[in-house]
Amino acid sequence: MILAVRRRSVAVADRRWGARLGATVGLLVAVVALLLAPATPASAHAVLVSSSPAASAVVPSGPAEVVLTFSEGVRKVPGKIRVIAPDGSRADRGEPSFKGAVVTVPVDPAGGRGTYLVSYRVISADSHPVSGAFTYSVGAPSPQPVDSGTENRADPVVETAVKVAKYLGYAGLLLLVGPALVLAALWPRRLSRRGPARLGWAGLGLVLLATLAELWLQVPYTVGGGLLDVTGSGLGDVLGSVYGTAHLVRLGLLAAAAFLVRPLFAGPVGRTDGIILALLGGAALFTWPLAGHPAASPAPAVSVVVDAVHLGSMAVWLGGLVMLAVFLLRRADERELAAILPIWSRWAALAVAALLLAGTVQGLIEVATPKALVDTTYGRLLLAKIGLFALVIAVAAYSRSLVRRRTAAQRPAPVRRAIWVELAITAVVLGVSANLVQTTPARTAGADVAGTPTGYYATTLSSPLYSLQVELDPAARGNNSMHLYAYSKDNRPQPVAEWRATAALPSAGIEPIEIPLLPLTDNHVTGEINLPAAGEWKFRFTVRTSDIDQATVTATVPIK
């Protein structure tokens, strides 16, 4: 008997030693990734503020270089900065140099007279691509050349896949944190841990899958290709960036945590293992803001900490709700629920308070002005998230009142129904959040970068032949830049034989104005138009895809 007890003790000690060894290996992976991380200054959603030669300028002789100056520091996307000569050949020579916000492109000064096209695609510090184009002329203007290189815009399928991966990562995080927290502190000893353990492993798997998917998708998202347009060099560039480093650190920390959650999912663990697991989880939370907007905010240290608190509070609250709804309210008896629910109610209140405080601080940093809340996509998404969150708080208040009246333990059905309503609404909130982290922050979208009022309008118009993505910036009185992208019905770039666009303001008696369009690729054109008055402008686009096939689509655009 004594020998059996000793063997059991040795086996438990061996398992704990193995778990800690595995956690140490995972931590070493994270540390190596941190040591290899590049030092990059903070910036966000860079905007081209000036160029030399200036856009649309006519210079007497060919320059030896084209200089692009952005509002913030940027990183290179290989092969995505091009200067096209009037005859359609490449005028740039050698690789462009990057020094903070300034990009210098060597150009052949002996090129011919005429109009040159400069197209660019770079990466801002928060991992989002920034692209555009402009022209300048040597001697005198000529017909604009066409860039026959690869498309400078991300595939819509890739953009959607990135948002889906973000959503799965958030869902996996709460499914991992909820079981780990409840099993460590609130789970009755008499109940089996098999169900919560399966849920926790599923959550860990989702986070791992989402992290790997984000690393893979970041390559075509930044370079501008399809789902399978991933090369070794492109993947190497992503892994060598701050974005890639944050994801590698996350993978290392998750690997370390996996060795410690295994004994937790099997039974109670010691205090030391619990503390180590909590520290690993807290460190992993910081990898989300370090790979997104917070790391590039005006106050990066504050934003990163606040966003990590926001994310952790969400995972604790929603993960705990899942455990209550799926397991505890169904399996625990009245005596156990009477002990568990008051404790959980206090924890949930603290998590919600932290969530509100962190969200308020982050919103103030990212939005900057009240006007940006309604004038930018980021602000409107944030308002939608706030509205949904208010609904969740109302339902949570009802659940808390049941716990305070001490009726929840005797009649758990009303609490369980309320929790399912909370989870249904928060599933939508997570979807809004996944879009929010991929949207230009209001502080940047609403900034006056070049001394002109800025805004943005984008929509997708459909016809039987194609879908047309329309982007108008700043969608205000005065000069506006327009970009048109044509796609086939299966979301592939649609070659266009001829483009035509007009704008009219019938309410002010302004007849249709022809918009001159400059082809950048076979499915992408840009144009400049001066809109003299505010109002509901009627835009009309005619796209001919072959000698006999063409279709016209229209859009009403509010101009401020």
- Model-wide pTM > 0.85: no
What's the confidence (pLDDT) of residue 223?
Answer: 77
Q: How far apart are CA 554 and CA 114, in angstroms?
A: 34
Name residues whose C-beta falls within 8 Å of residue 6's C-beta, 6 or more positions apart in sequence: none
Buried b (16+ CB within 10 A) or exposed e, 231-250: eeebeebbbebbbbbbbbbb
Selected from 2.40.50.140, 3.60.20.10, 2.60.40.1220, 3.90.1150.10, the CATH number assigned to the domain covering 48-138 reads 2.60.40.1220
Q: What span, in angstroms and rounded, lies between the C-alpha atoms of 540 and 553?
A: 6
**Residues 49, 69 contacting (CB under 8 angstroms):** yes
Rounded Cα distance between 504 and 537, Å, is 6
pLDDT at 381 over 70: yes
Residue 513: CB atoms within 10 A of its CB come to: 16
Give Cβ neighbours of residue 107 (< 8 Å, ≥ 6 apart): 62, 63, 64, 65, 66, 83, 91, 92, 93
Structure tokens at 137: 């002329």
Q: In whole angstroms, give the CA distance from residue 57 to residue 46.
A: 23
39 compared with 248, residue with greater pLDDT: 248
pLDDT per position as a tens digit, 187-202: 998 899 999 999 999 9
Q: Does the pLDDT value for residue 416 go beyond 80?
A: no
Number of Cα atoms under 13 Å in the Cβ half of residue 426: 22
Count of CB atoms within 10 A of residue 95's CB?
Answer: 12
Is residue 8 left, alpha or beta, with left meaning phi > 0 and alpha meaning psi from -120 to 50?
A: alpha
CA dist., res. 143 & res. 115, Å (int):
7
Extract long-range pairs of 287-290: CB within 8 Å, 24+ residues apart.
287/246, 287/247, 287/249, 287/250, 287/253, 288/169, 288/246, 288/250, 290/242, 290/246
Average pLDDT, rounded, for the chain: 79
pLDDT tens digit sequence for 89-130: 899 998 999 988 889 999 998 888 888 999 888 887 667 777
Return left, alpha or beta for 56; rule: phi > 0 is left, psi -120 to 50 is alpha, else beta: left
Give the pLDDT confidence score for residue 346 in this predicted structure: 87
The answer for residues whose C-beta is within 8 angstroms of residue 89's C-beta and 6 or more apart is none
Specify the CATH number of the domain 453-559: 2.60.40.1930
Find the angle CA(360)-CA(366)-CA(367) to the nearest 5 degrees: 85
Does residue 76 register a pLDDT over 80?
A: yes
Least confident of 55-59, 261-265, 433-437: 433-437
- Cβ neighbors of 223 (< 8 A, separation 6 or more) are 77, 78, 80, 121, 229, 234
3-state secondary structure of 405: coil
